A and B are shown apart, each in its own frame.
Chain A
Amino acid sequence: MTTREPGQPRSDRSPWNWLLVLPIALPLMTFLFNADEPRLLGFPLFYWLQIAFIAVGVACTTIVYRMTR
């Protein structure tokens, strides 16, 4: 944002924004995680993988935030 030319309007457009699709799409695909095995630390796949998607969400939004600042 700080690098734009004077007089030129700001824009929110950036190819990096497409990265946001990933954390939206993954948690909606139940076939990826609707199973018991493999377990992780006693957690069935259904639970640990959906918790892992939180990390995917954080990573993607952080990257987009950093790259479009």
Chain B
Amino acid sequence: MSLHMTEIVIFTVLFLAVSGMGFVAARWRRPTDLASLHEWGLGGRNFGSWITWFLIGGDLYTAYTFVAVPALLFGAGAAGFFAVPYTVITYPIVFLVMIRLWSVSHVHRLVTPADFVRARFGSPTLALLVAITGIVATMPYIALQLVGIEAVLKTMGVAGSGFLSDLPLIVAFVILAAYTYQSGLRAPALIAFVKDVLIYLVILVAIVYIPARLGGWGAIFDGAKAKFEATPAPNDGYLLNANNQLQYVTLALGSALALFLYPHSVTGVLASRNRDVIKRNMSALPAYSLLLALIALLGYMAISAGVKPIGKDVNTVVPQLFDQMFPDWFTGIAFAAVGIGALVPAAIMSIAAANLFTRNIYREYVNRTPTDAQEAKVSKVTSLVVKIGAVLFILLIDPQFSIDLQLIGGVMILQTLPSVALGLFTRWFHRAGLIAGWVAGMGGGLLMLYSITNPATNHAHFGGSAFPLANLGLDTKITVYAGFLALLLNLAVAVIGTLVARAAKAPDGPDATRPGDYTADEGDPQVRDVNLSGST
């Protein structure tokens, strides 16, 4: 343990300094009153281009991403590089979508994606399904941020076994919970600056310093090639093969479509000041993708450096690589970057999940006419509950379970695409069709995931997201992303369901929005409250 003293000291000092910032954030751009969801949960809906860039960047490119993507390349090779095309195509895809969501949410003072579905389709049931999907998909994601911190703590030798060894993790999350409660979305927005400065610094140093020590990039790639050619596994390799190319493409596309359906992404978008901020960010955010590509390649550097993961936990390869390569003081900074990197998304995710609960469950089913202060209070308490849940999840259940759940979460959140994303463009779908589509997509998706085996990780079920078409009886070894197939099923059922519902003259819900709402901008008049009286 004493070997890592320098690292532990630097990590702790930076971590505490940033936590202090989190508490001070309540006073940053101080509103007259923090007690409303627009202030606590969306930072006053007034963030400009720079803050939004740091906030969404800190939100989407999480500590877990920084640890898990290189781990994927370390273990499977080229297939793990899907994260790069995924984060390239997502911005042009949502470029025209998110500005419409921002506009309609601005006019109607909406806070969550489920709020929009409620207003657009007049169906509390559909809104509830969207809200629950969002909460369930977000929870394991928060838990995974802890996996990121844990990987760092393990490498520093402060997390082993026994209850006391979990203490640093618990302390870190208590601090996080306290300042999120206090400052709301302003806390992660302010901390995101520090997080990004640290991460950029560490990665820029890493991609110059480590290859220089390992004999250059050519040698690093040759090392990876040699490793994968020596293994018997059919689907690894430093290039794609005939069977996993379709998986690579559908996984990148499916993940790109899912990214901005996640409640925490929507929270980041809705907190911005106007449409211009969002459009500008859609062209500026890919700077993070470049960072991600370089981080991903740390996995290959770890191969060349002969890094061995701690135990069976491949998520420790990046911390191990830093520990092995850098001088102690810089390793401390690198570890702090990962640790702080976990705090930003964890805070935003818990706020987003809390807002979903408050707006679409509490407000819909418990208290129909809450005051702004009541809504903020419920959200603050829920954000605490969500974080405690995430900690218990990691401590009491095998972290592998969170990883599996997060995989399932991606497939699930994709099933809200027809009502949320397509709903922004067309009101053609009938609410009954959308509900039927959701049920079919969710059921089909879970069944497919259930049927996927993975002997390498000892999984008879839920062994990954690559669905072998052979499971459908086709004579092929090609695999496809299960979420993508589930979405196709969802869409097909939604279309058929809509046609059937219209033919049967089933009553459709009222649409509280007007076409002009979708292009409204800062300064345009707002409707204070959506009329929620139209029932079922």
Contact = CB atoms under 8 A, between A and B. Distances in A.
Contact of A65 (B89, B253, B283): B283
B216 to A, nearest CB: 6
Given A20-B92, A60-B92, A51 B217 contact: no
A30 B218 contact: no
* Residue of B85, B253, B279 contacting most chain A CB atoms (<10 Å): B85
A19 B69 CA distance: 30
B81 A46 contact: yes
Contacts of B14: none
Interface string B273-292: 00110011011101101100
B334 interface: no
Interface string A6-40: 00011110000100111110011010001110010
A13 to B, nearest CB: 9
Interface stretch (B121-129, B454-462, B485-493, B514-522): B514-522
A14 to B, nearest CB: 10
A28 B252 contact: yes
A45 to B, nearest CB: 9
Interface stretch (B237-245, B340-348, B373-381): B237-245
Contact of B88 (A10, A44, A54, A62): A54
Interface residues of A, number: 38
Interface in B86-141: 88-89, 91-93, 95-96, 99-100
Given A46-B240, A65-B282, 6 more contacts: A10-B519, A12-B100, A20-B95, A28-B249, A36-B239, A50-B88
A42 B221 contact: yes
Contacts of A58: 283-284, 286-287
Interface in B501-519: 515-516, 519
B408 interface: no
Nearest to B296: A47
Interface string A57-69: 1101110110011
B293 interface: yes
A12 B96 contact: yes
* Residue of B89, B219, B293, B520 contacting most chain A CB atoms (<10 Å): B89
A47 B75 CA distance: 17
B295 interface: no
Contact of A30 (B84, B89, B249, B280): B249
Contact of A50 (B85, B216, B519): B85
A61 B81 contact: no
Interface of A: 1, 9-12, 17, 20-24, 27-28, 30, 34-36, 39, 41-44, 46-47, 50-51, 53-54, 56-58, 60-62, 64-65, 68-69
B91 A61 contact: yes
Nearest to B86: A27
B95 A43 contact: no
Given A53-B88, A61-B95, A65-B283, A34 B217 contact: no
Given A23-B89, A28-B252, A44-B239, A54 B521 contact: no
B90 to A, nearest CB: 9
B100 A46 contact: no
B452 to A, nearest CB: 22
B283 A50 contact: no
A30 B297 contact: no
B78 interface: yes
Contact of A46 (B78, B96, B249, B279): B78
Given A20-B92, A51-B293, A53-B88, A62 B283 contact: yes
Interface residues of B, number: 46
Contacts of B521: 1, 10
A36 B78 CA distance: 11
A1 to B, nearest CB: 7
Contacts of A35: 239
Contacts of A62: 283
Contacts of B253: 28
B53 interface: no
Contacts of B84: 27, 50-51, 53-54
Contacts of B238: 44, 46
Given A42-B216, A42-B217, A54-B293, A30 B245 contact: yes
Given A58-B283, A61-B282, A28 B85 contact: yes
A10 B253 CA distance: 30
B519 A57 contact: no
Contact of B519 (A12, A20, A21, A22): A12
B92 A57 contact: yes
Contacts of B239: 34-36, 44, 46
Contacts of A24: 89, 92-93
A67 B487 CA distance: 33
A61 B216 contact: no
25 contacts: A12-B519, A20-B96, A23-B92, A24-B89, A24-B92, A24-B93, A27-B89, A28-B249, A28-B253, A34-B240, A36-B225, A39-B218, A42-B219, A42-B220, A46-B78, A46-B81, A46-B238, A47-B221, A50-B84, A50-B85, A51-B293, A58-B283, A61-B91, A61-B95, A64-B283
